[in-house]
Every structure is written in structure tokens, then in C-alpha cells.
Amino acid sequence: MSQLPNVIQLNSEQTSLIIDCEGKTPSVLYWGKSLSAASSVSMLRSLATRQEVKCAVVVEAPISLSPLSGEGFTGAPGIEISNDNSAWSLGGALISIKQQNAQSVEFVCVDNVRQIEITHKLHLDKQTNVLTASTAITNRTTAPLNVTWCAAPTIPLADNINKILSFEGRWSNEFLLNKVDLFLGSFLRENRKGKTSHDNFPGVVLYDEKTDEHNGDCYGFHLGWSGNHRTRVEHLPEGRNYVQLGELLMPGELILQANESYQSPNLYASFSDKGISGLSQNYHHFVRQNLIRPEVKNKPRPVHFNTWEGLYFDHDIETLKNLAKQVSELGIERFVLDDGWFKGRRGDAAGLGDWYVDKDIYPEGLGPLIEYVNSLGLEFGLWFEPEMVNPDSDLFRNHPDWVLATEGNEQLEFRNQLVLDLTNKEVTDYLFKVIDDILSEHPQIKYIKWDNNRDYNHPGNHLGKPAIHLQTLAFYQLIDNLKTKHPQVEIESCASGGGRIDYGVLSRTDRVWTSDSNDALDRLSIQRGCSIFFPSEIMGAHVGPRDCHITGRHISIEMRAAVAFFGHMGIEMDPRELTSEEKQALSEIISLHKKHRCLIHSGNLVRLNENPFSVDFGIVSEDRNHALFAYNSVNEVNRTNPGKYRFVGLAIDKVYQLNLIWPTDLKEYSPSVLRQIEGQVFTGEVLQQFGMQLPALFPQTSLIFELKAV
């Protein structure tokens, strides 16, 4: 122990992370804005000295990377285990520190009495300020060890942090932001639905009440995991706070035999003193540099046409060709054939699992349609829902025991389908083969939309064990195997919309289907919430039908288009419903999107602060020479004129030409500011500090401004 350093410091461009190694186990001493070399660890230690108070421990147990009950910690332990001996009271002592490079460190602690080893790996990304951290536990006994909880490293929070920004949601209304005051006790969110979930996104932002989108301290935490999970933020009675995220394990789900290990999913944590948009920029840069494959990053994101809301199950080759022709004329670049193409799939009650082209609909297979689509210059993509089976399918008739189930319990009904047991190798071998067969037969298929449309209610596998942990790993492996064999295929992660969006799945897929709701008003808040951790280029965003199929709302083509414009854009409707004016508007915005997608998909997102009347944001290029800003009026304002719009994030010392680029034809009651600004130049300073008077518009109008430094 004596030869180990008593502190480890990792630095990124804007943050310092100091791990105290003086105690028995390592813990975070400081994490926040970069400290200069003049600030020493001994200063921090002195300043952190706490007084003994009455009726309390003399020295509080540390909030170590895995706080342990064996250390006397009475908050939530970072590890909970049991065996026939005393594993439950796990303690530990640091025995090794490996610092591979300036950004990475690995700590190993051992409990020699209980023969359990704990490893923490931390990597602080220099440029993006994102910390990737995991905890592993190894059973060094000869007897089985039952693991009920092994959280990713626990992070104590700075004392000024007193607010929680959490995510709520449901199907077709994901990523709704909710602000909660930190309170005495635990803020706890758990997902037991088997996949990331619509309603319990595994992430949270903690901030100081004075923090807004542009200023102030905040911390983000996200668990990159697509199974069950738990997030805890606890304010302890003695005034300390911490955050702990990990995989939620069911009783008996994880048993380590001798010398076996379990590693938690990665925690992705970041700090910003530049407000919540600053925090998002850290995460967006991280995703761009680490999770998006270079082949995908370097290729402009093709504008999609997806058949779902246009046709549903009503497939017919001539109609599909006709649609492909019509959308190609609008500028669409990728045609995705959604649900309904495989054997017996004429509705959602049958066919899942039988991944063979339906010969009644496609007598010569998919070849002729793919060739036609390609001949129009469009890429071809195909929908799958591999992990599911309809009881009314050949697959289920032949293998009724291939599903997740528990003896004596009825499965709850859910979209007429059951979940396949991916922990059974025969199942994944079958799935690999059927998908591989189609991709090998049609190398022109460049894209898969990978769906997952039910919760996992009794996730018992063929061995009668709870299986979400192994099921999630098997799902990852299946994707990895298919990607290895078909590296040219991009994959979209969909689960009834945004039910499986996280960095675990994103590290092996290329796009997410943000939500089944194509309602532009709902999408503004869904995409805003999603943008906390995810950049625009992975966020599928489609122009839906004139009357939204999910909310019934009638929203203008201009607004629907403006909202989809800022994601990975597509359209999803029957193009035969379009009037010639709507077609014109769509072609215009698609070509505008193509012109600006490089900026949209690489720039820095600046969300303007919330207000009751509009949802506003901008995307500013790294060099601040070019920006796009969106004003989306959603409610009637309470004064005769709306307020001012501040173009935050521009360089104050640059001069910009300001232009309204969307809509191309805005009808107004009387001349407004929009006539004044056309082609005029303004300093970044006045655009940001003085702001532009907004025009009075109908609610549900979107404007897009372009700013170019001159």
C-alpha cells in the first residue's frame, strides 16, 4: 500500500478529476472545473475537513467509487453480493493502481477475508470532458457468488448542486424533461421492462439552481446499457450527495462461479460550467468522436422515406414502386421498407419470426423492388424485429419453447407477440442465419431498421433463470456478428419509437428512431429532451402525415418540415396525399436540408432557455462563422408582440449577415422585422445581447434563420 500514490489526477480540457487513494478504497475528492497547478490536493484535503458532531460517526464512511457496507457506508452500497459466508459485508483495500496514460486509470481493491476483487476503470476523455467509468467484481472464492448490484462508479456531487433534471416519457412522448429539487433521501428511477425503456431513460443531469442553458455548473450521468437499470441520486442526512447508476439485476440473475467476473455497463459522466447546452456539447462531441463509425460520420446522412405511416401493412409492389418514384422526385435518398414484407405479415397479429419474403406479395422476392428503388438513385433499407415472435407464426409453431416465459405464469398480452429467448444459442443461430441470408442475397440492402415492440414481463429463459442481463448481451452480440459479416449495413435502433436509445446500443448502431410520434409539436420537446445526450445526426426525424396519426393534430407542412429538418431527416407519409404546394415545400426543405446538413450534423447545439411560448435553439459551427437558429412558436403569446430572440453562441466580435431561410413564403398581417433584417449585417454582440424583436405570428409557426460571418 505504501508504494501506491495517494492521489490520482486526470485532466481534460475543462475539468479536473481527483481521486483520493489515501483511504482504504479510492473515492472522488474533486471533480469539476479545471484546477490550476497551484491548487494542491493537500489544500483540498484541508478544506474538506469535517467536524465530529454529536451522535454521529467520528469520521464518515467515504463515498468511495463503490461505497461498501464493510466500510460502514449507510447510503446505498455500490456493490451488493451474497454467498454462504460473509460476502454481504464486503470491504476492501486498494492493492494496485495502473495508470495506462494521462487519461486512464485502473484501481484494484481486494477483500482478503471474503476473497472478492473489485476493479474500477476510469477514462477521462481529454477533448470532450466525458468520463467513461465501470466497476468489475471478481469472485476469488471457490463457491458461487450471488451478485444483486454492482453499480458503475459512484460519484459524489459538489455541494452547490441541488437540482435534478430527469427524463420521463411514454410511448410516442419520450424524453420529457422534469425538474425536481434534490431532497433528503433517494431519488430513484428503475427500469424493469427489459430494454432501455420509454419512461425511464438511464440518465440524469444534476445542476445548481442558478444554472441555465448557457451558464452555470451541471453534471450529466448516463448508463450505456439497453437492459434493466437503476439510477439513484441521494442526499444524505449529513449533507453529502452522490449519484449511482447501474444494471438492475433480478434475484438469482447473476451468479459468479470461481474466478468469474462481472463488469458493470459504462457510466458516461461529464461536467460543464457552461450550462446544460455546454454539457450537451461535451456529450455530442464524445458521441461524434467515439461512438459514430467513421464511415457513417463521413457520409452525408441520406434523407429517408419510410413506408410505415404511408402504407402500414398494405404492401403491393406497384404501389411501392409508385411511392418510390414520387419520393425520389422530392429528393429522397433512402427508401426503407418497414413492417409487412415477410411471410404472413398482413397485420400485427402474425408472422413475426418468419423472416422470409412473403411470396404472395413479392412473388419474385424483394429483388425487383430493390432494383427499381436503386434505379431511381435511392438506397434500400429493410425493417426487422428479430427478438420477437408472434404465436401465429411457423417459428413459434415449430419452437414454442424458444420464448422467454416462466412456468405457471401467463404472459401479459402485448401487441400479439412474445420475446424470443436469445440466451438460447439455437435462437440466435436461427436469427443470424435468416437475417444473413437476406443480406447476402441482396447486398444492395444498406440499412436495417431494427425494432423491438414489447416489454419483457416474465423474462425467464430456457434454464428458468431471469435473463435480461444475458439477453441484452446476446442482442449486442447478434448485432456485432451481423455487422462483422455485413459492415456496409447501417442499423437503426428502434423500440416502438424511442424505447431503446442509449450509448450501449449506439456504440453498435448508426441511428435511432426517436419517437413514433411524428407530431411536430410533440417532437419539439421529444427532440429537445433527446438532445441532452444525443446529437442531431443520429436522431431520426420524419415529416409525418398532414393530420398526425397519433395525436390527430393538423400541423402545416412548413412546421412539420422545419422540425424534421434539424435531425436525421426523412419523410413518413403517403406522398399521394400531398398537394402540389406541399410537394413544392417538401422538395424545397429537403434541398435546404442537404445544403445545411453538414452544419446540422456537426455543429454545436445551443438550446435557448425555456419559455412558455416557443421552443428555440441554434446550431453553431465550431469556428462560429456559420449558424442556423430555429424559432418554433407553439403557444399564443400573452402580449401584443412576442419578446426578443437572442442568437446565443455566436462570436460577439464577428459580424453576421442574417437571413430567414424558412419558410420561403411567409404570409404576414403587416410588415415585420423579417423585412428589416433581410440581408442586413449585425454584430454577434447585438444579436446575442440585444436580441431581435420577433414578428407576431400564428402559434405553430416555425422560422429558420441562417447567420453567416462576413
CA distances from 173 to 254, 504, 534, 570 (A): 33, 22, 16, 19
Contacts of 675 by beta carbon, 8 Å cutoff, 6+ apart: none
Please state the closest distance from residue 176 (CB atom) to ligand GLA, in A.
18
Burial bucket for residue 610 (CB in 10 Å: 0-12, 13-18, 19+): middle
Q: Which stretch binds ligand GLA (CB under 6 A): 129-137, 394-402, 492-500, 684-692?
A: 492-500
How many residues bind ligand GLA (CB under 6 A)? The answer is: 11
Nearest to 516 by CA among 502, 533, 495: 495
Q: Which stretch binds ligand GLA (CB under 6 A): 54-62, 391-399, 490-498, 525-533?
A: 490-498
Please state the closest distance from residue 458 (CB atom) to ligand GLA, in A.
22
Q: Does 80 bind ligand GLA (CB under 6 A)?
A: no
- Pick left, alpha or beta for residue 441 (phi over 0 → left; psi -120 to 50 → alpha; otherwise beta): alpha
- State the Cα–Cα distance between residues 533 and 469, nearest whole angstrom: 24
DSSP, residue by residue, 390-413: -SBSHHHHH-GGGB---TT-PPPP
If the CB atoms of residues 107 and 383 are measured against ligand GLA, the closer one turns out to be 383
- State the Cα–Cα distance between residues 500 and 99, nearest whole angstrom: 34
DSSP, residue by residue, 598-638: HHHTTSEEEEPPP-SSEEEEEEE-TTSSEEEEEEEE-S--S
Identify the DSSP state of 184: B
Please state the closest distance from residue 453 (CB atom) to ligand GLA, in A.
5
Q: Which stretch binds ligand GLA (CB under 6 A): 182-190, 278-286, 354-362, 494-502?
A: 494-502
Q: Does 87 bind ligand GLA (CB under 6 A)?
A: no
- What's the full length of the chain, in residues? 710
If the CB atoms of residues 451 and 455 are measured against ligand GLA, the closer one turns out to be 451
If the CB atoms of residues 150 and 505 are measured against ligand GLA, the closer one turns out to be 505
Please state the closest distance from residue 528 (CB atom) to ligand GLA, in A.
20
Contact 370, 363 (CB under 8 A): no
- Phi/psi of residue 189, each to 5°? -125, 135
Please state the closest distance from residue 352 (CB atom) to ligand GLA, in A.
9
Q: Which stretch binds ligand GLA (CB under 6 A): 133-141, 489-497, 535-543, 598-606?
A: 489-497
Q: Please report how the helices 580-600 and 557-564 are oriented relative to each other, as an axis angle in degrees rounded to 10.
A: 20
If the CB atoms of residues 62 and 169 are measured against ligand GLA, the closer one turns out to be 169
- State the Cα–Cα distance between residues 522 and 531, nearest whole angstrom: 14
- State the Cα–Cα distance between residues 692 and 643, nearest whole angstrom: 8
- Can you say how many angstroms the Cα of residue 290 is from the centroid of all Cα atoms in its chain? 14
Strand partners, 138: 117, 261
If the CB atoms of residues 23 and 347 are measured against ligand GLA, the closer one turns out to be 347
| Residues identified as active-site | 451, 516
Please state the closest distance from residue 224 (CB atom) to ligand GLA, in A.
22
Site residues (CB under 6 A) for ligand GLA, limited to 306-325: 308
One residue of 14, 390, 457, 496 binding ligand GLA per CB under 6 A:
496
One residue of 494, 532, 557, 589 binding ligand GLA per CB under 6 A:
494
If the CB atoms of residues 243 and 501 are measured against ligand GLA, the closer one turns out to be 501
Please state the closest distance from residue 102 (CB atom) to ligand GLA, in A.
43
Please state the closest distance from residue 330 (CB atom) to ligand GLA, in A.
20
Please state the closest distance from residue 663 (CB atom) to ligand GLA, in A.
27
Q: Does 497 bind ligand GLA (CB under 6 A)?
A: yes
Please state the closest distance from residue 496 (CB atom) to ligand GLA, in A.
4
The three cell numbers locating residue 415: 401487441
Burial bucket for residue 237 (CB in 10 Å: 0-12, 13-18, 19+): exposed
- State the Cα–Cα distance between residues 584 and 117, nearest whole angstrom: 65
Q: Does 451 bind ligand GLA (CB under 6 A)?
A: yes
Site residues (CB under 6 A) for ligand GLA, limited to 147-206: none
If the CB atoms of residues 277 and 390 are measured against ligand GLA, the closer one turns out to be 390
Contact 212, 525 (CB under 8 A): no
DSSP, residue by residue, 440-497: HH-TTEEEEEE---S--SS-B-TTSSB-HHHHHHHHHHHHHHHHHH-TT-EEEE-BTT
What's at 593, amino acid-wise?
H
Identify the DSSP state of 420: B
If the CB atoms of residues 282 and 453 are measured against ligand GLA, the closer one turns out to be 453
Please state the closest distance from residue 382 (CB atom) to ligand GLA, in A.
11
If the CB atoms of residues 451 and 582 are measured against ligand GLA, the closer one turns out to be 451
Please state the closest distance from residue 315 (CB atom) to ligand GLA, in A.
12
Q: Does 335 bind ligand GLA (CB under 6 A)?
A: no
Element (H, E) at 281: helix 275-286
What's at 165, amino acid-wise?
L
Q: Which stretch binds ligand GLA (CB under 6 A): 52-60, 416-424, 439-447, 493-501?
A: 493-501
One residue of 247, 338, 455, 519 binding ligand GLA per CB under 6 A:
338
Buried b (16+ CB within 10 A) or exposed e, 488-500: ebbbbbbbbbbbb
CB-side exposure of 272: number of CA atoms within 13 Å? 23
Q: Does 383 bind ligand GLA (CB under 6 A)?
A: yes
R_g over Cα of the chain: 27
If the CB atoms of residues 268 and 308 are measured against ligand GLA, the closer one turns out to be 308
If the CB atoms of residues 208 and 339 are measured against ligand GLA, the closer one turns out to be 339
- State the Cα–Cα distance between residues 574 and 542, nearest whole angstrom: 12
If the CB atoms of residues 125 and 339 are measured against ligand GLA, the closer one turns out to be 339
Site residues (CB under 6 A) for ligand GLA, limited to 503-562: 513, 516
One residue of 307, 390, 453, 457 binding ligand GLA per CB under 6 A:
453
Q: Which residue is nearest to ligand GLA (CB)?
A: 339
Which residues make up the interface to ligand GLA (CB under 6 A)? 308, 338-339, 383, 451, 453, 494, 496-497, 513, 516
